[in-house]
Structure 1
Amino acid sequence: MRSDINEWALTHWGLRRYTSVRELVAEELDDAGGSIALEDLEHNLTRTFTIKLSTLRQVASTSPYITSGGIVRRLLGGQSTAQHEADLTTPYGHSENEATATPGTGPSAEELIDLMGLL
């Protein structure tokens, strides 16, 4: 079986099978119950496999996954990344059709960076 990007192993050795990074993220999400901290995801996968952090972060923030607030989860069926981010930023108790923001208000730079999963 394939045990890393360029390595093979006998299955009876009990090593974890290497597949695509996208499938490995799915396995980690399943094991974690549907969401996992990006930091934990990175730690779990990079200690076992030769995966660049930039590749892992790209996959974790590309459909069908979303990274928000440092947490990786799957997008809901049919939901786009933009819709998910809008859901996270819509104030509680307000519909998306209401004008809820007042001029000059909005998330801080730190909140935006956190929402984008850049921390």
Structure 2
Amino acid sequence: HPECTQAVVDLADDAGSTAHIVRQVEEAPSGTKWAIGTEHHLVHRLAEEHPDQFIISLADVPPLCRTMNMITQRNLAQALEGLVQGRVIHPVIVEPETAHWARMALHRMLELPR
């Protein structure tokens, strides 16, 4: 995952978003071996969904994403219901310059071919 340290990304055979990692594993032939450097729950899920492949985490101590672990079905439902009602339940507030570069990064990601 590109959020790993640059040294890890430089040594990797491949690096990409969570969607890229999932797609690579899903499209790989049976018997493929993977050592994946990303959030522990994703690696575990991929291993369960693809028992014909050998999938392990790169980390000795599996990394957990605190932010992702804060998301519950209830919180997600509340946020979506709020959006339907025109309310933002959990706004993200950052400095204007950070917002500018974040918006630019999002636009660039959305422009990438699928």
TM-score under structure 2 normalisation? Answer: 0.27
TM-score under structure 1 normalisation? Answer: 0.27
Query: Which structure has more strand as a fraction of its residues?
Result: 1
